[in-house]
Amino acid sequence: MHKNIYHKGSCCCGAVKYSIIDHPLFTHACHCKDCKNQQGLLL
């Protein structure tokens, strides 16, 4: 029997928060201006 795996987090600026019970299917980046800037995207 598998244990429930709980994950929680947020984007860098905190505008997006999430929580899941299981392994994540994929990772994704926030698309707000602050997070794009922090990731080095030229605006």
User: What are the two backbone dihedrals, phi and then psi, of residue 10, each rounded to the nearest 5 degrees?
Assistant: -160, 170
For residue 6, give Cα distances in angstroms to 14, 20, 39. 19, 6, 26
Tokens describing residue 34 = 């602050």
Say whether pLDDT at 28 is over 70.
Answer: no
Averaged pLDDT for residues 5-32: 79
Say whether pLDDT at 29 is over 60.
Answer: yes
Report yes or no on whether pTM surpasses 0.85.
no
Sign of CA dihedral 39, 37, 25, 18: positive
Question: Bigger pLDDT: 39 or 33?
Answer: 33
Run of H or E residues at 7: strand 6-10
Query: What pLDDT does residue 36 have?
Result: 75
CA dist., res. 34 & res. 25, Å (int): 25
